[in-house]
Amino acid sequence: MLALTMRALLSDGHDELFRRFMDSVHDYAIFLLTPEGLIASWNVGAERIKGYHADEIIGRHFSVFYPQEALERDVPAQALCTAVQQGQWRDEGWRLRKDGSRFWAHVLISPLLGPTGEVLGFSKVTRDMTEKREGEQRLVEGERNLRLLVETVQDYAIFSLDCHGVITSWNRGAQRIKGYTAQEAVGRHFSMFYEPPDVARGWPQEELERTAEQGRFEDEGWRVRKDGSRFWANVVITAIKDEHGRLLGFSKVTRDLTERRRHEEQLREREESLRLLVEGVRDHAMFLLDAKGRIKAWNAGGQRLLGYDSAQVLEHDVSMFYPEEDRLAGKPQAELASAQSAGHLLVEGWRQRADGTRFWAEVTTTRLEGDGESAAPRGFIRIVRDLTERRRAETLEMEGRRLSEFIAVLSHELRNPLAPIRNAVAILGRFTDEPQARWCLDLLGRQIGHMTRLVDDLLDVSRITSGKIRLEPVALELNTLVRMAVDAASAMVKQHGHSLTVRLAPMPIQIMGDTTRLTQVVANLLTNATKYTPPPGRIDVSVRDDGDVATMQVNDTGIGMSESLLQRAFKPFVQGVRALDRSEGGLGVGLALVKNIVELHGGSVSAASAGTGKGTTITVTLPIRKQAATEPSAAAQTVVVPSPRRVLVVDDHHDVAESLAMLLRMSGHDVQVAQDGPMALGMAAALRPDIVLLDIGLPGMDGYELARRIRELPELGAVQLIAVTGHGREADRQAAAAAGFHAFITKPVDPEELARLVN
């Protein structure tokens, strides 16, 4: 029926013309539908757009082009119905190609009516609008994104003004920075953000005029928020014009730079403070050098330390501060080259002042980087510090260490010959009762004791200067300690022809102290009083309780002290006037040692004298122990009956070893002698001695190593090791304890102490 109708419409030879027309259209899909919607014709454009050949699609329902969601809404049937009712149907929407892909189509369906108005079919024209729609979508999306971008920016206040400066748009950044909502800001003049003085001088209007004239205007200044607070703003105003150059309004972008301005102000303040600091530093010479070593800046410290003012040094080479021999050797250039290579250089050396004097300097040179990673350095910062005093102190400290080492060696060398002499005196004392021989032995004993005290004083000098005196405090009763010390010294006092009186406190005085060291304090004070009092003299010792402190005084009728000597009395090596007829002397360390020991106990010591020839009073105070509880009484001592012991004496000094062995054999002990470490090891393994008296300074294998090797022998697990040495420093005692020694005695050995240790 449709074919007959079409032929009727295209009669008179127009059929060929219509076919050619249809086939010439490529941009439109043009085809006919039957009243039921079946496809009755198909042109080239339809084939290109939809992908079907004519023989594939003619006779099929046109709903094949609609996606599922359109079919579910019955869009094809509605389209034909609407076209009949309204004369045509227009639509845009997604359609399907043969391969299943979608395209955006513009569709026009028109009914074809017969002479009596009956529907003969439909014409359908479809155009592929995908590219156009995508372009429109991109444009819409771009506009939407731009709007969202502007609206959501929070670090910038972005808003627009009309030609008169009235706000027409407002973003979130504007609300955050300025404090106004869009409803509060839109419609108001933008001058509300300016301070009253700026408004009064017409600055907002001038900004708009400059922008209209120049197209763009940028400014920085104070602006005002809604709450009245100020912020430092960077403002960019841009004129908005149409294609004919007619002004439409303005865009304004404002950024809050308050924090940056604060940092810049702080930076300027720091730079100014740094400048004032550098200029005000007087203990360090601080100056700036260019890359070639020429002086570019100079501080007050440079003038004070080096003696030049800025006019004398600026633009001069830094080598002017070096001694001539260093300049000739190229030292200034070498130090700059090292600083440039490493970035930083710290050296010490001699430098020269303007007056030609030299000083020992610490010199720090720091490279100043250029702009960019590959740029050459801009120059150097140099800081010079005078270390002359420190160098002098280090030299004195080094000399002190050398003196201590010398004293230790000297003490050792003196103890070694004293040891066999004391041993020989002790041996001879057992074989003679002749008065003259006994007198000689007593004399030798006294002189050996005197020399031993001198050696001990030498070591105490070292301990004082190095601060290495150590205490082992225990609970003490001061009256008892003083009485025992006085009893030990009374023979010496009487021998010099002096009278000695002691007045102790009526009640016990409890203190905490080192028994040996506090006894040494009393002994030193009595020794000094004895030596510096011409016979017959009087020496008085008193002890009293003064509440929080205990006071001990030693008063003599001796030569006294002058005012100048009183001020120096407690320093090492200080002595009173030594008369030519004095047979005894000392090293002048007694009072210095007393002061050091007393102060280590938390006490004090002072000297008083009415003048030369009027005697001296030494006063010592010590803190009283606060513990009120009564100390338990000591248990009764058990009497130990000595029994013979197997003893191995190890000493490379023949006289020391043999005299010590003879002294022990006379006490009934079984004694063997070894001269070195390997020999001692072999003998110890064979003899299994009870006690080994071991010298530390052995050749080859020293006493510490030998002690460790003996400890490794299982059969010698119970042996007692006693160090017998000429080294008496605290470090030697600690090293001996670490090596496994049970006791430590110094040469010359006291026979009574030796007997106690062996028994």
Q: Is the dihedral of CA 296, 299, 305, 306 positive or negative?
A: positive
How large a percentage of the chain has pLDDT more than 90? Answer: 32
Fold classified for 646-758? Rossmann fold (3.40.50)
Specify whether the CB–CB gap between 527 and 492 falls below 8 A. Answer: yes
Most confident of 386-390, 464-468, 614-618: 614-618
Residues 6+ apart with CB under 8 A from 569: 561, 591, 607
Neighbouring CB atoms inside 10 A of 73's CB total: 11
Position 243 scores a pLDDT of: 86
Q: Please tell me which residue, 513 or 375, carries the higher pLDDT value.
A: 513
DSSP 36: T
Q: Which residue spans within 299-406 are E strands per DSSP? A: 344-352, 358-368, 379-386
Contact 285, 262 (CB under 8 A): no
Question: Nearest-CA neighbor of 335 among 362, 373, 299?
Answer: 362
What six digits make up the tokens of 497? 């022809």
Residue 582 and residue 729: Cα distance in Å, rounded?
31
Q: What is the CATH number of domain 392-464?
A: 1.10.287
CATH topology of domain 2-129: Beta-Lactamase (3.30.450)
- Residue 658 has a pLDDT of 83
Nearest Cα residue to 510 out of 591, 611, 365, 630 = 630
Give me 741's structure tokens: 């020694």
Q: What CATH number should be reported for the domain whose range is 474-576+585-623? A: 3.30.565.10
d(CA 256, CA 156): 7
* Lowest mean pLDDT, pick from 82-96, 430-444, 518-532: 430-444
Asked which of 466-480, 535-549, 597-611 is least confident by mean pLDDT, the reply is 466-480
Is the pLDDT higher at 232 or at 527? 232
Q: Are 194 and 223 in contact (CB under 8 A)?
A: yes
pLDDT digits (tens, 9 = 90+) for 273-321: 656 555 555 667 878 888 888 988 878 777 888 888 888 888 999 899 9
> What's the pLDDT score for residue 245?
87
Per-residue pLDDT tens over the stretch 678-720: 898 888 888 889 999 988 888 888 888 888 888 888 888 788 9
Q: Which of 292-306, 357-371, 536-550 has the highest mean pLDDT?
A: 536-550
Boundaries of every domain in the chain? 2-129, 153-261, 281-386, 392-464, 474-576+585-623, 646-758
| Mean pLDDT of the residues in the chain | 82
pLDDT digit string, tens, across residues 453-463: 666 666 666 66
| The CA-based dihedral angle spanning residues 255, 256, 262, 267, taken in that order and rounded to the nearest 10 degrees | -20
Instruction: Give the residue with greater pLDDT, 411 vs 115.
Output: 115
Evaluate whether 2-129 and 281-386 have a shared fold: yes
Token pair belonging to 212: 């209209």
The pLDDT of residue 409:
63
With beta carbons less than 8 A apart as the criterion, state whether 574 and 589 touch.
Answer: no
- Domain 281-386, what architecture? 2-Layer Sandwich (3.30)
CA distance 538 to 531: 12
Window from 71-75, 180-184, 416-420, 566-570 with minimum mean pLDDT:
416-420
Q: At a CB cut-off of 8 Å and minimum separation 6, what does 224 contact? A: 192, 193, 194, 195, 230
Average of per-residue pLDDT across 120-148: 78
Instruction: Tell me the C-alpha distance between 707 and 701, whole Å.
Output: 10
pLDDT band at residue 24 under the 50/70/90 scheme: low
In this structure, the strands spanning 538-545 and 616-623 are: unpaired
DSSP of 115-154:
TTS-EEEEEEEEEE-HHHHHHHHHHHHHHHHHHHHHHH--
Which parts of 561-663 are beta strand (E)? 604-608, 616-623, 646-650
Q: Is the pLDDT of residue 40 over 50?
A: yes
Distance, CA of 394 to chain centre: 26
Residue 306 dihedral angles phi and psi, to the nearest 5°: -105, -15
Side-chain-side CA neighbours of 231 within 13 Å: the count stands at 21
The CATH H-level (homologous superfamily) assignment of domain 153-261 is: PAS domain (3.30.450.20)
